[in-house]
């Protein structure tokens, strides 16, 4: 989700107007901080001395990089600015599913006037596709896909200016977000949704679900409608995804705060008020106007409803009757994705970013161990939540969030994880988006998409955001990818080493730190890395959600795109460009690894149909020779 889709003047633009930029940073100071002891890239440093990437050595390092042998089985493509998808020669794409496609034959499906009728809007493919995962089950392919938010202007009747005018309007918006689970099949003419499959299911803003873990049942999670504090309706703003070793889907609630508003006073008691401030819950909301038609979203009436959202939700994609579970053990914040990996002893480790300027990077480590075929009950409930602290010397540590370290009770730590992270002095990050773990090495990567407030403003909790460590550029408009190497090759370890895999930038415009790291060239440049996943061969796929103006500081970068990186060499190549206006987000593979599913969120123009509204879609990418695609 971009920062800007709901507001006329974006938060970034408002900030820029009110907090003018300081003078340019000293280049050497910035790059010194970006280069860890391990180097921005071990591969690049192996090509020459560390000094070679500094100053005038920057270009020669780039040339040296370009001359290394590539693991990529395609010729990289140029940036594009049109309203289409582009892929390297030898690859094809088709639409798998688009906003409004009927999952059931009794649903009316898409209509150009307003996306489709309210009746059956909970039985069609939702809008604004995001994280996704494919599950093989009894010879079938089942895909779970998030629908992050709704563009109110195209989902409501023309003339309403995107403003709900009735409870029915709100219900329609609520229906079109959440998660789609559907069976898909590859037929002679390509991939298609299996309409009316018993696995097809829509989960939306009113779907019953259960809270579990140490905070479940806490007073801050109780409402008049649910005095138990365990029975919740709906999952909100489903952004990135994850998959457990036991075959369930994780959907992550990100900007849940935007759905809430107030037709009266906000709560004034210190605990709730502090939480509202830190999580950005206010009287106006972000324009969905749910609170004007649905009292559950009016925090003057139900002040604790927001505490029931902002979690990671587990869904069994193979059982359409299964109740989704919100795991309070994984903390409450603006969850991007949930990358699950096993520690050496079988404990379950979940890496999670909190996507807001100056917020933290988290991980959860279970108490119990995963045993294939054994019970998984409690594995995502009982454990310890940590927040990351990065040191400038290339080391870091995971700080346990416990009553002893934070002075908070365990339920409070989980419900207000941001406050707990502040209490222990975690590092304020440049908007942590997706985390991805390399399946062939004990290392993890996180996209830090950008942070135009770096070095100029504290986060919403008042924590300073100094320039340094893995956040080395003031008013960072391009973003970077940090990676860490857990000590003892164990994801459960509390110590790690870190470096920057890439600093995005524009070497066609700048020759200083704004040019990015040496593995960024005029031929592969991009901004705002966001979605990210490793394929089975150990290449890392990087999706962008950035400025696609193709002008000024972003000249030559074109539309949002998907690139692939080689962790060993640092090489990065552009594989796909999306239609102008879109964000490329969400990535999954068919079980035979011959198809890659890619999400195209909020495209511009009238892609992909060319004759109607722009329709957020998932596409299927294949090789013309039928070969493996990761």
User: CB 183 → ligand FEO: shortest distance, Å?
Assistant: 26
- Pick between residue 62 and residue 431 the one whose CB is nearest to Ca ion: 431
E strands, 127-282, are 129-137, 140-147, 178-187, 190-193, 201-203, 208-212, 231-233, 238-243, 249-253
Q: Quick one: what does residue 150 bind among Ca ion, ligand FEO, none, with the CB cut-off 5 to 8 Å set by partner type?
A: none
Smallest separation (angstroms) from Ca ion to the CB of 236: 15
**Which one, 114 or 430, has the nearer CB to Ca ion?**
430
3-state DSSP: the chain helix, strand, coil percent, rounded to 5? 15, 30, 55
Between 254 and 298, CB nearer to ligand FEO: 254
- Residues at the contact surface with ligand FEO, assessed by CB under 6 A: 1, 148, 239, 254, 336, 355, 433
Q: How far is the CB of 544 from ligand FEO (least distance, A)?
A: 12
Residue 397: C-alpha distances to residues 22, 36, 162, 166, 494 (Å): 31, 15, 46, 50, 5
CA atoms of 265 and 283, how far apart (whole Å): 8
Q: Provide the minimum distance between the beta carbon of 255 and ligand FEO in the complex, in angstroms, as a whole number.
A: 7
Q: 361-369 and 383-390 as β-strands: parallel, antiparallel, unpaired? A: antiparallel
State the residue number with the nearest CB to Ca ion: 545
455: its two tokens:
């070095």
The distance of closest approach from Cβ of residue 413 to ligand FEO in the complex, given in angstroms and rounded to an integer, is: 23
Q: Which residues contact 256 (CB under 8 A, 6 or more apart)?
A: 236, 237, 306, 309, 310, 334
Q: How far is the CB of 254 from ligand FEO (least distance, A)?
A: 5
Query: What distance in Å separates the CA atoms of residue 598 and residue 587, rounded to the nearest whole number?
Result: 5
3 binds Ca ion (CB under 5 A): no
* C-alpha–C-alpha distance, residues 416 and 401, integer Å: 11
Complex with Ca ion: residue 396 or 603, whichever CB lies closer = 603
- Least Å distance, CB 485 to ligand FEO, is 25
Residue-wise DSSP of 379-420: TTTSEEEEEEEE-TTSEEEEEE--HHHHSS-HHHHHHTHHHH
State the binding partner of 354 from Ca ion, ligand FEO, none, CB within 5 to 8 A by kind: none
Task: Answer with the entry of ligand FEO, Ca ion, none that 304 interacts with (C-beta below 5 to 8 A by kind).
Answer: none
Give the residue with the Cβ less far from ligand FEO, 304 or 355: 355
Dihedral of the CA atoms 384, 390, 391, 394 (nearest 10)? 110
Spell out, one character per residue from 523 to 542, where the chain touches Ca ion: x when CB under 5 A holds, - when not: -------x------------
Query: What does the block give as tokens for 403?
Result: 């009553």
**Residue 336 or 548: which CB sits closer to ligand FEO?**
336
SS3 state of residue 313? strand
Q: Which is nearer to ligand FEO, 121 or 129 (CB)?
A: 129
Q: What is the phi/psi pair of residue 10, to 5°?
A: -65, 155
Residue 266 is given by DSSP the state P
Using CB distances below 5 to 8 A depending on partner kind, what does residue 254 bind out of ligand FEO, Ca ion, none?
ligand FEO
Residue placing its CB nearer to ligand FEO in the complex, 412 or 583: 583
Number of residues that bind Ca ion (CB under 5 A): 4
Q: Which is nearer to ligand FEO, 110 or 288 (CB)?
A: 288
Compose the 418-437 pattern: x for residues touching Ca ion by CB under 5 A, - for all others: ---------------x----
Phi, psi for 51 (deg, rounded to 5):
-65, -20
- Using CA atoms, how far apart are residues 279 and 309, in angstroms rounded to an integer? 11
User: Which of 235, 366 has the CB closer to ligand FEO?
Assistant: 235
Instruction: Report, in Å, the least distance between residue 2 CB and ligand FEO.
Output: 8
- With CB under 5 to 8 Å by kind, the binding choice for 148 among ligand FEO, Ca ion, none is ligand FEO
CB of 336 to Ca ion, least distance (A): 6
State in angstroms the smallest separation of the CB of 271 from ligand FEO: 27
Question: Minimum distance from CB of 547 to ligand FEO (Å)?
Answer: 15
Q: CB of 46 within 8 A of CB of 38?
A: no
Q: Is 443 in the site for Ca ion (CB under 5 A)?
A: no
Query: Cα(505)–Cα(512) distance, rounded to whole angstroms?
Result: 9
Judged by beta carbon, residue 204 or residue 335, the one nearer ligand FEO is 335
Vertex 65 angle, CA 62 and 68, to 5°: 155
Residue 545 binding Ca ion, by CB under 5 A: yes
Please choose which of Ca ion, ligand FEO, none residue 12 contacts, taking the beta carbon within 5 to 8 angstroms, the exact cut-off set by kind.
none
Tell me the three state secondary structure of residue 532.
Answer: strand
Q: Do the Cβ atoms of 127 and 115 come closer than 8 Å?
A: yes
Question: How many angstroms separate the CA atoms of 108 and 175, rounded?
Answer: 14
Which residues here bind Ca ion, judged by CB under 5 A? 433, 449, 530, 545
């Amino acid at each position: 989700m971009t920062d800007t889709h709901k507001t006329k003047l974006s938060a970034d633009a408002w900030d820029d107007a009110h907090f003018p930029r300081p003078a340019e940073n000293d280049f050497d100071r910035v790059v010194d901080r970006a280069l860890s002891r391990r180097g921005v890239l071990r591969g690049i440093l192996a090509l020459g001395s560390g000094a070679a990437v500094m100053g005038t050595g920057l270009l020669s390092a780039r040339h040296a990089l370009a001359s290394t042998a590539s693991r990529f089985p395609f010729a990289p493509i140029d940036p594009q600015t049109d309203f289409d998808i582009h892929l390297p020669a030898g690859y094809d794409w088709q639409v798998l599913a688009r906003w409004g496609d009927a999952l059931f034959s009794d649903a009316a499906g898409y209509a150009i006037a307003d996306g489709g009728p309210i009746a059956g809007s909970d039985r069609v493919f939702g809008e604004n596709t995001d994280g996704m995962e494919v599950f093989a089950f009894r010879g079938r392919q089942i895909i779970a896909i998030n629908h992050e938010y709704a563009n109110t202007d195209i989902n409501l009747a023309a003339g309403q200016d995107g403003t709900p005018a009735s409870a029915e309007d709100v219900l329609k918006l609520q229906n079109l977000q959440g998660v789609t689970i559907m069976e898909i099949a590859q037929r002679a003419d390509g991939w298609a949704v299996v309409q009316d499959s018993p696995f097809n299911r829509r989960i939306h803003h009113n779907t019953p679900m259960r809270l579990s873990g140490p905070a479940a049942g806490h007073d801050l999670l109780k409402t008049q409608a649910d005095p138990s504090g365990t029975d919740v309706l709906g999952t909100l703003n489903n952004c990135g995804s994850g998959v457990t070793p036991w075959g369930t889907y994780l959907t992550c609630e990100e900007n849940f705060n935007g759905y809430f508003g107030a037709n009266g006073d906000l709560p004034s008691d210190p605990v709730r008020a502090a939480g509202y401030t830190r999580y950005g819950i206010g009287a106006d909301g972000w324009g969905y106007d749910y609170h004007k038609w649905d009292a559950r979203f009016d925090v003057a009436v139900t002040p604790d409803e927001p505490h029931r959202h902002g979690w990671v939700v587990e869904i069994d994609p193979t059982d359409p009757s299964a109740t989704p579970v919100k795991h309070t053990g994984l903390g409450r914040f603006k969850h991007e994705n949930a990358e699950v990996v096993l520690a050496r002893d079988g404990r379950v480790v979940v890496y999670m970013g909190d996507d807001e300027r100056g917020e933290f990077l988290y991980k959860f480590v279970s108490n119990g161990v995963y045993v294939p075929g054994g019970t998984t009950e409690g594995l995502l409930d009982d454990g310890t939540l940590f927040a990351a602290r990065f040191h400038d010397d290339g080391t870091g540590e995971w700080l346990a969030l416990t009553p002893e370290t934070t002075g908070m009770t365990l339920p409070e730590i989980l419900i207000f994880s941001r406050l707990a992270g502040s209490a222990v002095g975690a590092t304020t990050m440049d908007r942590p988006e997706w985390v991805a773990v390399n399946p062939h090495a004990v290392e993890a990567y996180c996209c830090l998409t950008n942070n135009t407030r770096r070095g100029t403003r504290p986060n919403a909790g008042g924590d300073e955001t100094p320039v340094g460590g893995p956040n080395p550029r003031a008013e960072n408009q391009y973003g970077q990818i940090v990676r860490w190497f857990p000590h003892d090759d164990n994801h459960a370890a509390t110590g790690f080493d870190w470096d920057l895999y890439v600093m995005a930038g524009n070497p066609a415009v700048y020759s200083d730190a704004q040019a990015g790291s040496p593995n960024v060239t005029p031929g592969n440049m991009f901004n705002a890395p966001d979605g990210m996943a490793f394929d089975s061969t150990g290449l890392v796929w990087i999706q962008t959600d950035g400025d696609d103006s193709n002008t000024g500081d972003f000249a030559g970068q074109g539309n949002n795109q998907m690139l692939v990186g080689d962790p060993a060499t640092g090489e990065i190549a552009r594989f796909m460009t999306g239609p102008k206006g879109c964000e490329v987000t969400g990535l999954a593979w068919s079980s035979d690894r011959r198809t890659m599913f890619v999400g195209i969120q909020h495209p511009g123009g009238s892609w992909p149909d060319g004759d109607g509204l722009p329709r957020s879609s998932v596409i299927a990418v294949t090789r013309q020779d039928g070969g493996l695609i990761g």
